[in-house]
């Protein structure tokens, strides 16, 4: 009986992780990136980029599996994306904002205290793909 109670709690928790609503007002904020930072719960990046570079980066991001737009658009110069892990559906939030000729990127986890470098790997992969496009 205890086993089933634990199983229900675990499945309920996993269900919450996968289906919990995302509050755009909370996640779609100014990234305020002043310098590149590798954080325990995410990553911040700052790079030169105009509207055309933002559009290319948006294309790279939207071709990432399990990634959707939570709020904003590349045309607006401010987008927040949600990328979910394959098996458990853990959401990571990435906000990209254009400030003149600078792109600010802030990727962070929602659940837990460490993303184990997942956001850094994802964002650096996007930036490498962008660089290969000649930008």
Residue 13 has pLDDT above 80, yes or no: no
Please indicate whether residue 7 or residue 29 has the higher confidence score (pLDDT): 29
The pLDDT score that the predictor gives to residue 135 is: 65
In the chain, DSSP assigns E strands to: 37-39, 42-48, 67-73, 78-84, 91-99, 102-109
Q: According to the model, what pLDDT value does residue 89 have?
A: 87
In this predicted structure, what is the pLDDT of residue 17? 66
Yes or no: say if 95 and 80 are a contact pair by the CB < 8 Å rule: yes
Instruction: Determine the Cα angle at 52 with ends 94 and 106, to 5°.
Output: 15
On whether the CB atoms of residues 50 and 63 are closer than 8 A, the answer is: no
Return the CATH architecture of domain 2-132.
Answer: 2-Layer Sandwich (3.30)
CB of 60 within 8 A of CB of 130? yes
Q: Which residue has the higher pLDDT, 133 or 64?
A: 64
Quick one: average pLDDT of 43-71?
97
Each residue's pLDDT tens digit, 77-104 = 999 999 999 888 899 999 999 999 999 9
What average pLDDT does range 45-49 have in this prediction?
96
Mean pLDDT of 61-83: 97
């Amino acid at each position: 009986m205890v086993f089933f109670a634990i199983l229900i709690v675990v499945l309920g928790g996993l269900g919450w992780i996968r289906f919990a609503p995302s509050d755009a007002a909370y996640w779609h904020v100014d990234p305020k990136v002043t310098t590149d930072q590798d954080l325990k719960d995410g990553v911040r990046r700052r790079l030169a980029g105009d509207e055309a570079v933002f559009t290319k980066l948006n294309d790279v991001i939207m071709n990432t599996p399990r990634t959707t737009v939570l709020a904003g658009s590349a045309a607006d110069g401010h987008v927040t994306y949600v990328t979910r892990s394959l098996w458990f559906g853990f959401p990571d939030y990435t906000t990209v904002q254009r400030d003149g000729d600078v792109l600010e990127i802030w990727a962070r986890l929602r659940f837990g205290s460490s993303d184990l470098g997942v956001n850094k790997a994802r964002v650096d992969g996007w930036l490498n793909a962008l660089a290969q496009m000649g930008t």
